[in-house]
Every structure is written in structure tokens, then in C-alpha cells.
Structure 1
Amino acid sequence: MSGSTPGTLQLQIRDHLEQDYADIYTPEALAALAFMAQFDAEQKRLMDERTRRRLMRMKQGWKIDFLDPQSEIKGTGIRVQDARDGNFVGAVIPHDLQRQWLQGTGPAAKPGAPVKSSLRNVAYALLSGADGWMFDGEDALGQTRTLSLDNQRSLKLAIARDPQFLEVAESVAQEMNSWAQGFFGRDIITDWRKQLNFTTKIFRARGLHLDDRHVRLNGQSFSASIVDMTLYVVNNHKTLHAAGSSIVLYLPKIQTAEEAGFWNRLLTALEAHLGLAAGTIKTYVLVEQLEATFQLMEIRAALGRHFVGFNTGRWDYINSVSDVNCWDSDFINPNIESIVMTYGYMRNYEDRVRRAVNTPDKNGNYALWQGGMEPNIPVGSEAGVTGSMTKARAGAVREQQEGASGKWIAHWKMAHIIRPVWEQVGEANQMGRPFPRLTYTAEDAAGLTLLEPAPRTIRGARNLLSVALQYGNAFGQGLQAAALKPADFFGNDDILYLMEDMATGEIRLSILWEWIHKGAALTEDDAETGLRAGDVFTMEIFERLLEEEYAKLLAADNRDVYDHSKTTTLPIARAIVAAYVQDPIKVPWFIDLLNINLNNMNIDTAKERIALYFTTFKEEGRRITENLDTLPTN
């Protein structure tokens, strides 16, 4: 396929996918992609600047700081102080986002599955009782084969109420009620057709740091963000509008207000191309990057009428804090289990977000704060489920009391367990709740990297390593989101599986990298290894634990580790984990190493690609983000 914009921009779609997915690559969608291709060069520039900024911080030992209040947010014409003062026009929150007590997350497709099987994902989501559902095109969606396109296809069919989807939804409703009868002693769905209209549909596009696997521009990689937002909006905006529903996106991995301004230009250009009023597309921003927490009001202002709220996630944010401080020998995280939302830098991050959304714009409009992820699933022993659900509800109560208008869940079974926390309070949202205005002091900056005493143990290291290996393996299988737990707890139903995504693996490796390369001291004795409190976590300890935890995965049954993965994707996951953790140069994204090995099952090829990535990054300061299987050959 080739589609052109004025000038020399030309798009190519690989392997006849334009014909195989003609329902997604419609003439309207192709025309919009060709129009939006003009922004790809700026996306590349912004990502190059990210890499240079990171490199300078590492070389010079720079800590992130707040922007100069008298400066301008690059590319927007907005003065930083005006953004902080609310001197900008933001969004009026649309009717179907006013109440978002509970948002579920997950992809709309399964790897290698028939259409009807993938549609089950959407049916579970829209029948769950969640107020909104973020259908994921990023962290929870595997990118093997054509899964990103299958995801778009499922959403289009479901939003259009295609007969295939309705047939699936009726069947899924019966299954959900059958489960609910056993768990709650009652049905959770009375009228499945009516229930399908309850949940607001939201789509998360891939971040600016990623490239699409199928579309290229002038023979070069092309922005996944542009592809995702364009295909979703073009294919669904008319149907959503006819149903009285908003077009809503989640924007991930934004680091700066300049990047938010770029997203604003993307959204505005697409709206103009489609004849939509400026500000029609509404966006939440996932605050997943430490740098973004230094620029919250600036990000709000840069997105203007498109912005409706922030989300405070956990895993990606912890990873960002670790990555930003990779040069600082004094910054060493504890066990991941200790880094909860009330821990040190996480507590200060959450506080800044709630203060930012409750600062009014020039028209008196506030924004929403959506709390973080609840990864538990109510499947396990009676004692395990009871304990975990009590903990999950307590976490939701804390967030509600702190000012969140809702939170996330990773599995539909949690909807009727968590949503009542907000339901019992009864307020649609907590916008405008009084909190102190944001301040921008040295103390505020220090609080965003605040470490507090917490355990650092061999048990913690085993958990970090086991789960990271499993997520790398799941990613290679096309399952970026999976229900996992450390291998030592396989078969123990008192310890529940947690439904999480690839970012969970990434932060675990970042912490292990810190422990090795910054000489982390253990805080407890360990009988199995003979190590004592105060001993340093060395490369030799890591290599021993890697051997032991990998052996446990090889010995696990098919329920926990697919047998066919043990000779294909699991060895590749191990090679990636070892390379990422052992190298003294910390590469910015674990996902890069996974992406360049998608669809590859050969360990020798994987090792070649891993070596190429490290060489390219070190010698050229460049990440490899392309689909290596489709690069033209000489």
C-alpha cells in the first residue's frame, strides 16, 4: 500500500495487511493516516531529545527540577506561570466521564484467536459493571503477529453492536452470572443488552516512544501513537457520536509538557481532518514518568480542552523514578512489595496529582483523578481470597478518602467488589475538593525521590527475578498482561495470582540493576544462601538466583509456564533479563529488547538482536524500535 500526503511522505503497509484488514485500514483511515504522517518527524525529534536529556542527566548527575516559571512551554506559547495559575481553558467534563468510580483495563483481543474469541474480552469488559473500560493498545496488549489490528477490529465490531458481538455478549453474560451466583449468591447482570450501554469506552494508544509494527513511512519506522489514535478515532467516532458517547483516549508515558503539547496538536489536527470540533476528543494522562510530576499543571494547560484527568499508576512510575536516578549511587529501591502508594516518593507523587486536578482553570473547571491499579483476582483458596479482597477494598477506601474519583481494576471479577467503595459514598466525583495549591520548592523536588527505610532481601530478589522472567516469557507469547506470581508460590492457593502487565517486569529488573550496580546492602539474613544482613548484593548472587529461579520455571507445570514456551520464548526472556541487568549501562526500556524479538523463537537470533541493540545504543545513542522482521534487505 502507498498513501501520500502533499510533498514526499509515503506510507507502506506490510504483507498485504491492507487487504486482510480492509475493515480497519478503510479508505477514510488510510487518508487520515496519510494526513497525520506529517507529524512523524516531530515525534522522532521529541524522542531523540528524551534520549539526549537522559544521557546528560547520567553524565552530569543532574536531578530533575521544576521549569522556570517565566519560561514558555515549548511549542505551545503558554507561559509556565500561567499554566500553574490555571490561566488556561481546560475541558468541561462530559456526561459519561462525570462518574468513573471504577475503570477496568485490558486488551480487546487475544493472540492468535478467532474474532469471536477476542470479542469475549470486550463483552466481559462492557458487562462487568465498571463505569469505564480502558481497552489497551499498549502495556497490556501483546504485539505479536497482527494483534494490534485484531484489537482495533474487536473494538470496532463491539462499538457498532455487530451481530457477532451481540451473540458473544449474550453467552458471556450467562457465564458471568454463573460465576456471580457462586461468589456473591446473586446475578450481577439483569438485562445484558441494557448493561452493554453502561460502561464508557476508552482506548489507550501506544506511547510516543514506540513504533508501529506494520506501517512504515518512506521506508522508515512510523509512530505507533499516530497509528493507534488515528485508526481508533476514524473507525469509531461516528458510531460513538450517534450513541451519545464521548471519544476518550488514555495517553501513556508522557514525560514533559512539550510532549503533551505535541499530543494536543495531533488531536487537534485529526479533529480538523474529520470535521470535528476542537476538543471533541477527550484524554486522560497516565502519570507514569517522574519528569511529568514536575510539570503537572503545564501538561494540563498544554492539552487544554482535550484534558479530563490524571491517573496515578504504580509500576511504570516506579520504573521511571529508578531510571531517572540510575546515575545516583545513593538511590537504591527496597523490595518491590514495600513501594506502595503510601511509600516515600509515591506518597508525594500522588499528593501532587490530586492538588493539580483540583486547581481550577480560568473558567473554574476542575479535572478528574483516577486512582491506581488493583491487580488482585478473586481466585484461590477461601482464606487467600478473603484476605486479598479485604486488602483490595482497604486500598480503594484509602484512595477515595484521599480524593480520587475512582480507581482501576485489572479483571472484571473485581468490579462488584471494589465499586461499592465509591457507591456507598454516592458522590459522582471529587472534583473541586479543596487541597493546597501546588508549590515548587526544593523540598517539593526532594520529596519526589524520597526513599524511606524498608526491607531489601533475598526473598525480595527472588520475587523480582521470577516475575520478571515470567513477564518476558508472556510477552513473547503475545500476552503482555497475565496473571502471575513468583515460582515459589506455584500451587499455594493462599497466595493469589496478580493480573498485571509488562511494566511489572520492567520495574523488577530496574530494581535488580540498582542492587547490583550500586552495591545494595541486604537488610536481613537469608538461611538458604547463607547471606547476612549488611552483605552486598553482587553479580554473583544475581547469577546464582537467575539459575535457580529459571530452573523452577522449567520445572513448573503447564498451568503456570506453558510447556511449549520452555524451549522457545522462555530462553529468550532469560537472555534479555540477563543482558538488561548485567550491563553497567542501563538501557532506557526493557520493552525495546522484547519488541525486537517478537515472533522470534530462535535463541541465537535473539542473542544477535540483543547485542545489536546494546551496540547501537552505546555507540550511536539510538534505540532500535523497528520491527526487525520486516526491515528491507539489501
Structure 2
Amino acid sequence: MSAVLSESTPDAGIEVIARAEGQDALLTPPALAFLAGLHGRFESRRRRLLAARRERQAFFDRGGLPDFRADTRAIREGGWRVAPIPRALLDRRVEITGPVDPKMVINALNSGANCYMADFEDSTAPTWARMVEGQRALRAAVAGTLAFTGDTGKAYALKPFEQQAVLIVRPRGWHLDEKHVLVDGERMSASLFDLGLFAFHNSDVLAAKDRGPYFYLPKLQSMEEAVLWNDVLTHIESALGLRRGQMKVTVLVETLPAAFEMDEILHALRERVVGLNCGRWDYIFSYIKTLRAHRDRVLPERAQVTMTQPFLKAYSELLIQTCHRRGAHAMGGMAAQIPIAGDAAANDAAMARVRADKLREAEAGHDGTWVAHPALIGIAREVFDAHMPGPHQHDVAREDVQVTAADPGSGPGQALLAPSRGTITRAGFDGNVEVCVRYLAAWLDGNGCVPIHHLMEDAATAEIARAQLWQWLHRDDLHLDDGTPVDFSLLERALLNLPARLGDRGKLPGGSRISEAIGVLDRLTHADELQEFLTLPAYERLP
């Protein structure tokens, strides 16, 4: 069904081609006119920047490598700093992340974390119903009226505002469309839809509470993409009567090209940026995808790609150095472990890994970190409280860090493109297949955040597994550590054996979509070209 804009705004040309509970209260004629205006003003620039991404990748596929830009040297060498950080975002030592369903929103805001990143992107499957539900939940949360009753009858309600985590909203990335909203027959940018609709309904309330609005910006690849975001936010501030710079952002550095433009991204957003975040899982995926044609930079299995790998250590420490030089927060990344019920020894080992990861971040100079489960907040807080007595660590300059692009030579430096050590085991190969299939099945069933073998998997971790499989299988010289060739017969055996490994599908999230997910993965891995994002073709299967 479609709902065309009412006669009060007949020239906007915007159309909603789906229905979900409560959407009429969100997608009012003024809200739709506002969204149509964003599309008309910024869509052509978005499309040009996406084309520039494809051109850049073609250069890498021909053998080129990312490097620091010569045309922006003055920005990197300048003495500028970002605008002062607002009081509500000064201390961000523990942030919880998760999807935007009402129960999660309440639990996250009540969790005791400093901030909650409400995620419309990697941990949310973007069905129309979930997108509308998420916007409704956040609007009610901002108003202080959100409540939820579960299937068991348990009631959930918000704590008083002063006890809630600070809300930070992550819209979907520039590469994604919102297929259910058309402007003059064109799909609207999912980024502009998510951020624009939230800002339209909540900016005045949040500004009055001195809470922003605040956003996380995902998957940027260049300074120019940051400039576009800055122009979008400046326009929204003007249109909604906010002061310039009222809307604050943190940028996720989760693509390899962006790691070479951290100074430039901060500079482009300097009136409103408060920090950068090490989005490690997407960053690993981007490293694989960007360097897919470079035979000397194939990564080992995912379990061996830890933050001690040279290319990841260089990335995280350069981010700390860059942010602190500019007066911005350097946020750490996500530990994927979740509590393990019924096995105390395994749970203790998992929590020890979380503690070690957070200790590494705190000692390196990060100003805060992410968790995916409320039970991990105490561990992360304890570690950061012990090593960060103030609200942040901007005084940790990390002047010892010397990072180059590909080759640090014989000196003490590090390289963003350093090859990795490690192997591919049969368990690692089969594990990638299982994660891809189980996550994709759940995602197709509307669930974007899935616990698998005591790890919280989202689109980013599934993308690592999917991209690794494609890269490994399109080489003719790779072997498992036991000498078995990595080829399509190995994939076929893994897919054939998978149903038996999974057991009762009825007990798995998205169990009814397992066969469909196997088919999707099989097609993606056999394709001659690596699909840019798993979620692009899969999105067409969502309602």
C-alpha cells in the first residue's frame, strides 16, 4: 500500500509504499516534506560520493594501495582543534550498543552505561516495521514515556532522566537506501531518513535538556563524505531552529580508506565532532574488501585477527594520537563476548578476555569503550576507573606512535597496511560458513543482533566471515593448516554438513530461513566479484 503526501505539501513528490503500526504519527505531512527537502538538497552529492568509492576501489583492484593524501597535508600538519565537547559527552568511559526495539532501548538507557548507541544499522535488520518501531521507541524515550510489557507479562519502564545513559543515535550508512520511501520515484537515502526523521521529532526536546541531539556516523570513507554530513547537519540545524553546532557527532573509523583521513574527517566536522571510534569489526571487513586483490595481504581466520595484529595496532594507536592532538575522544571498540550461563569456567574465561581487551584499550589511551551486554558494563567500568581517574585521557598524547602506510622500514614505526600472521584451520573455515548462514537467516527473519557460540554477531562480524570466504575461495594457492586445499569443494562440504551441525532449526533465530541463507551465501561466494555489502542484495528480500 502507498500513502501519498497530503495536499498540504503537494509538490514534495514523496511517497511511502509500506505500512507499519504507528507510522502515521511519525510520517506526518510536515515530517515527509522535511525528508523530501533533504533528499532534494543532498541526494545527488551522495550518489557522486558513492561513485567515487567505486572508482577508488577499482584503483585498489588494479594494484594500487591506500595512502595519506598529498592534497590535504596542510590539514594534517595544522594546529587546529575541534570545538569544545559538551558536558554530557565529556565522560564516555562505557557505552552500550544495541538495536532500537523498545525493550532494548529501555534496558540500555537504564543499564548504568554512560552512553547508549541506539543502532539503526549493523545490529538492526531494516524491515520497515523495525525502522518505524525504532523511531517510535526513541521518540517515546526522549519524551520520557516509553514503556514495554514482554510476552511473560514483565513490565519495563525508564528510570528518571538523570539516571539514564546519554542517547546517541546511529543512522544507516551512506551506501544504504530506504526502499519504502520514494521521492520523485527514487529511493531515499537511509542515512537521511534515519537521522532526519529522528532529528525532526526529537531535536527540540533534546536541545532543551542539553542532550544534543547526538549521533554516531558510520562507514565514512573520505573527508568529502564527512563534509556532506556536516552540510546535512548544518542544514537541519537551520531548518529546525537549532544553534549552529548544536548537533554533535562521533565518527566510526571502520573503513580502511578512512584510517588515512582521520585528521581530515575531524577537520571537516570540527564544529560538531567530539570523537572517533575504533569500529574494529567493520574495519577488519573493510581491510579484506579493500585489499581483496592483493595476494600478500590475505588475513588468517577471524579468531586470529586480534587487536595485536600489526595493522590493527597501528590503526588504533594512530586514532588515539590523532584525536588527542585535536581535543577529541578516542573511543575503543566492541568486545564480542557475552556471558555464558551454566558453565562457570567458560564464562570466567570469556570475561577474562573482555577484561584483557578493555585493559589494552585503557592503557593505550582510549577515552572509553563499547559493550554489547549490560553484564559487561561493570568489567569495563572497573578497568577504565582504575586507569582513567578523570573523564578522559586527552593528556595521553601518544607521541611515540609513528604510523606509515605500507612499510615502516627498519625504524620503530607501524604500518596501516602491514600483512598479518596466522593460519586458516578447518574449524575456522567451517565457523565462517556457520556464522554467515546463521546470521543471514536471522537477519532475513528480522533479527540483526544474534548470539552465536557466546559471541554477539552483527552485520559487521558476519561481513568478515563472508568476505574472508570469498577471498580465500578465489585464490588458487591457499591451504588449511593441515594441507587441505581451500577450494569450492571445501565450501560445498561445509554447507552440506551444516544442517547436521545446527541441530533443531526451530530453536535458532531465523531457523526457518536457513536453506534460503545457504543459497544466498553460495551465490555470493561463487560470484566473480565480491559484493560490496552483504546487506545490499539481502535487503531486497526484507519486507
TM-score, length of structure 2 as denominator length: 0.92
Within the candidate set 432, 437, 442, 1:474 is matched to 442
Please provide the CA RMSD for this pair.
2.6
Q: Quick check: 1:55 aligned with 2:18?
A: no
Alpha-carbon shift at residue 237 of structure 1 (Å): 1.2
CA distance in 1 between partners of 2:146 and 2:475 (Å) = 58
Give the unaligned 5+ runs of structure 1.
72-79, 110-118, 175-191, 361-365, 486-496, 526-532, 600-634
CA distance in 1 between partners of 2:45 and 2:402 (Å) = 31
Question: Partner of 1:558: helix, strand, or coil?
Answer: helix
Structure 1 counterpart of 2:407, one-letter code: E
Alpha-carbon shift at residue 297 of structure 1 (Å): 0.1
Within the candidate set 355, 372, 384, 1:410 is matched to 372
Matched with 2:304 is 338
1:23-62 paired onto structure 2 within 5 Å = 23-37=25-39, 38-58=41-61, 60-62=62-64
Distance 1:385 1:522, change over 3 A: same
Distance 1:198 1:2, change over 3 A: closer
Alpha-carbon shift at residue 596 of structure 1 (Å): 1.4
Question: Partner of 2:116: helix, strand, or coil?
Answer: strand
Q: Quick check: 1:505 aligned with 2:462?
A: yes
Matched with 1:539 is 488
Matched with 1:488 is none
Matched with 2:331 is 370
Alpha-carbon shift at residue 6 of structure 1 (Å): 11
CA distance in 2 between partners of 1:15 and 1:63 (Å) = 43
Alpha-carbon shift at residue 196 of structure 1 (Å): 5.9
CA distance in 2 between partners of 1:371 and 1:298 (Å) = 20
Q: Are the aligned partners of 2:6 and 2:29 in contact in 1 as well (CA < 8 Å)?
A: no
Matched with 1:393 is 355
> Which deviations, in whole Å up to 9, do the C-alpha atoms of 1:224-277 show, x marking residues without a partner?
111111111111112212223221100001000111111111111111111111
Structure 2 counterpart of 1:548, one-letter code: N
Q: Quick check: 1:94 aligned with 2:112?
A: no
Within the candidate set 115, 130, 135, 1:152 is matched to 135
Stretch moving more, 589-598 or 123-132: 589-598
Structure 2 counterpart of 1:476, one-letter code: L
Within the candidate set 451, 461, 479, 2:429 is matched to 461
Distance 1:235 1:370, change over 3 A: same
Q: Are the aligned partners of 1:333 and 1:514 in contact in 2 as well (CA < 8 Å)?
A: no
Alpha-carbon shift at residue 541 of structure 1 (Å): 1.3
Question: Partner of 2:451: helix, strand, or coil?
Answer: strand
Matched with 1:298 is 264
> Which deviations, in whole Å up to 9, do the C-alpha atoms of 1:409-452 show, x marking residues without a partner?
11122212322111233221112322227665653698222123
Distance 1:20 1:557, change over 3 A: closer
Matched with 2:392 is 429
CA distance in 2 between partners of 1:303 and 1:420 (Å) = 32
Matched with 1:518 is 475
> Which deviations, in whole Å up to 9, do the C-alpha atoms of 1:507-547 show, x marking residues without a partner?
1011111211123533522xxxxxxx3x4311111211121
Q: How many residues align?
A: 531
Within the candidate set 512, 522, 528, 1:578 is matched to 522
1:103-182 paired onto structure 2 within 5 Å = 103-109=95-101, 119-162=102-145, 164=147
Matched with 1:317 is 283
Q: Are the aligned partners of 2:83 and 2:270 in contact in 1 as well (CA < 8 Å)?
A: yes
Question: Partner of 2:172: helix, strand, or coil?
Answer: coil
Question: Partner of 1:203: helix, strand, or coil?
Answer: strand
Stretch moving more, 8-17 or 210-219: 8-17
Question: Partner of 1:135: helix, strand, or coil?
Answer: strand
CA distance in 2 between partners of 1:560 and 1:441 (Å) = 43
Q: Are the aligned partners of 1:105 and 1:134 in contact in 2 as well (CA < 8 Å)?
A: yes
Q: Quick check: 1:226 aligned with 2:192?
A: yes
Q: Are the aligned partners of 2:403 and 2:416 in contact in 1 as well (CA < 8 Å)?
A: no
CA distance in 1 between partners of 2:8 and 2:119 (Å) = 29
Matched with 1:548 is 497
Distance 1:411 1:301, change over 3 A: same
Question: Partner of 1:146: helix, strand, or coil?
Answer: helix
Matched with 1:182 is none
TM-score, length of structure 1 as denominator length: 0.79
1:585-596 paired onto structure 2 within 5 Å = 585-596=529-540
Alpha-carbon shift at residue 195 of structure 1 (Å): 6.9
CA distance in 2 between partners of 1:520 and 1:552 (Å) = 28
Alpha-carbon shift at residue 62 of structure 1 (Å): 1.2
Q: Are the aligned partners of 1:260 and 1:299 in contact in 2 as well (CA < 8 Å)?
A: yes
Q: Are the aligned partners of 1:126 and 1:195 in contact in 2 as well (CA < 8 Å)?
A: no
Q: Quick check: 1:205 aligned with 2:171?
A: yes
Structure 2 counterpart of 1:48, one-letter code: A
Q: Are the aligned partners of 2:213 and 2:246 in contact in 1 as well (CA < 8 Å)?
A: yes
> Which deviations, in whole Å up to 9, do the C-alpha atoms of 1:106-165 show, x marking residues without a partner?
1121xxxxxxxxx22111101111100000011111112421111010000111011646
Stretch moving more, 240-249 or 251-260: 240-249
Q: Quick check: 1:271 aligned with 2:237?
A: yes
Identity of aligned residues (%): 29
